[in-house]
Amino acid sequence: MDKLVIRGGKKICGSIAASGSKNSALPVIAATLLTPDGAFAIDRIPDLKDVRTFIQLLEYLGAETSFENNLLTVSTGHLKSIEAPYELVKKMRASIYVLGPLLARFGHTRVSLPGGCAFGPRPVDLHIMVMEKLGATVTIEKGFIDAKVNGRLRGARIDFPISSVGATGNALMAAVTAEGTTILDNAALEPEIECLCNFLVKMGAQIDGIGTTTLTIDGVDQLRAVGFENIFDRIEAGTLLSAAAITGGSVTVTGVVPEQLDSVLDAFRQSGCTVTTTADTVTLSAPEKLMPVDITARPYPEFPTDMQAQWMALMTQAQGDSTIIDRIYHERFNHIPELNRLGAHIEIRDNWALVHGPQELTGTKVMSTDLRASACLVLAGLVAKETTEVLRVYHLDRGYEAIEKKLTALGADIERAKYQEF
């Protein structure tokens, strides 16, 4: 297995380009299943494990793909299966994104239920509710979601009881070719959903209200294959800015839309960082002393849950105590015991974390069981004394493109090495 070996204490400084977003790439790739027409060419697709797994899933279904230099081409004209198998779905929950498009195109699909997740319950009831509202019959059989409809799906009004990125994405993909009009109330506002909407519109879909919580979709008969450019990864950008903030450095991330980082940039400013933006860059310079800032992770445009672990690493270096609450995944705190092993002092009180800062961190071997928790440990390693080894880097590789190369370019002393688990 791979590990990252980090000798901490180097300031992270310089300029770096943001990669394409993982969480928009996955639904956009899934949406190519909606039409047999021609070949899609989608640029700025990040080369990371989840994307490779999703491409593998499409190839299993019969798609023809090529992926080089962040350009993905896909043709789904000759699909041979409508089933997403356990072996691929278990590697990546986002495989559930094939449910909507396959059902819409073939009137039948079987998608393995995603397994348990590393940070608490992540049900798929809303995805199922959406398909039922659109006229499908859904059964759960032997660990598979089996969804069927006679003829086309039918437009409906769907009011989401809570904001769900994945269920909104699946609803959009199912509704764009349904008969009649679908209205999604309390739809997710995340930029990744806006990106999916823009992709679907380019394919010929009719969607009103893009960028709001009410989306109105008028079903169309046909969609076409198109060229498209994916958006930047706001979580990667936030992680790189955190690397500068935690090491007392200064970083410019290019190729971003700064407004999509507003909640995170606000938190950095409150912590004393100097943050400046242009139309497509953000620059952060760390202060002499970081101030503690409480955050609560909530749906966009509020502070993202996918940045909560990285923020916690940063707060271990702040001049005082801070609290961290996650209202999306109440139990997303796997990183705490590992941060504490590095010398942090973080307590969990019911559903919130109390970070006592500042604490000097000292390197040791650490590992985690999910993506952002691993990113948090890399950040801690950058500021820790001596050497930190972050094990099971495959979690990090799911969602960060060439992370150690990017950090090395910014001055980190970090390298990838092999190790054997007992």
Ligand X SMILES: CC(=O)N[C@H]1[C@@H](OP(=O)(O)OP(=O)(O)OC[C@H]2O[C@@H](n3ccc(=O)[nH]c3=O)[C@H](O)[C@@H]2O)O[C@H](CO)[C@@H](O)[C@@H]1O
Ligand Y SMILES: C=C(OP(=O)(O)O)C(=O)O
Contact call for residue 42 and ligand X (CB under 6 A): no
Tell whether 126 is in a known binding site: yes
Q: Which is nearer to ligand X, 5 or 196 (CB)?
A: 196
Q: What are phi and psi of 298, to 5 degrees?
A: -145, 170
Helix or strand holding residue 42 (H, E): strand 40-43
4 binds, among ligand X, ligand Y, none (CB under 5 to 8 A by kind): none
Choosing from 117, 195, 197, 273, the catalytic residue is 117
- Interstrand relation of 40-43 and 71-75 (parallel, antiparallel or unpaired): antiparallel
Instruction: Please choose, from the candidates 46, 393, 422, the residue with its C-alpha nearest in 3D space to the C-alpha of residue 235.
Output: 46
Q: Which is nearer to ligand Y, 248 or 399 (CB)?
A: 399
Residue by residue, DSSP assigns 271-337 as TT-EEEE-SSEEEEE--SSPPP--EEE-STTS--GGGHHHHHHHHTTSSS-EEEEESSSTT--THHH
Stretch of 8-16, 53-61, 125-133, 148-156 lying at the interface with ligand X (CB under 6 A) = 125-133
Among 23, 35, 308, 317, binds ligand X (CB under 6 A): 23
Tell whether 125 is in a known binding site: yes
3 state SS of 392: coil
Helix or strand holding residue 407 (H, E): helix 403-409
CB of 116 to ligand X, least distance (A): 12
Identity of the amino acid at 343: G
Tell whether 93 is in a known binding site: yes
Round to whole Å and give the CA distance between 387 and 70.
33
Among 90, 108, 122, 298, binds ligand X (CB under 6 A): 122
Tell whether 123 is in a known binding site: yes
Cα distances (Å, whole numbers) of residue 265 to 63, 105, 222, 250, 289: 40, 41, 41, 14, 17
Tell whether 157 is in a known binding site: no
Q: Pattern of binders to ligand X over 140-179, x per CB under 6 A?
A: ----------------------x-xxxx------------
Tell whether 350 is in a known binding site: no
Among 28, 45, 94, 246, binds ligand Y (CB under 6 A): 94
Among 190, 192, 236, 306, binds ligand Y (CB under 6 A): 306
Burial class (CB in 10 A: 0-12, 13-18, 19+), 306: buried
Tell whether 146 is in a known binding site: no
Select the residue whose beta carbon is closest to ligand X and give its number. Answer: 166
Among positions 48-107, residues that touch ligand X (CB under 6 A) are: 93-94
Check if 376 is active-site.
Answer: no
CB of 206 to ligand X, least distance (A): 24
Round to whole Å and give the CA distance between 171 and 23.
16
Among 52, 93, 356, 365, binds ligand Y (CB under 6 A): 93
Q: Count other C-beta atoms under 10 Å from residue 77's C-beta.
A: 13
Select the residue whose beta carbon is closest to ligand Y and give its number. Answer: 306
Task: Give the residue numbers of the binding site for UDP-N-acetyl-alpha-D-glucosamine.
Answer: 93, 122-126, 306, 328
Q: Which residues are catalytic?
A: 117
Task: List residues near ligand Y by CB under 6 A.
Answer: 23, 93-94, 306, 371-372, 399
Binding residue positions: 22-23, 93, 122-126, 306, 328
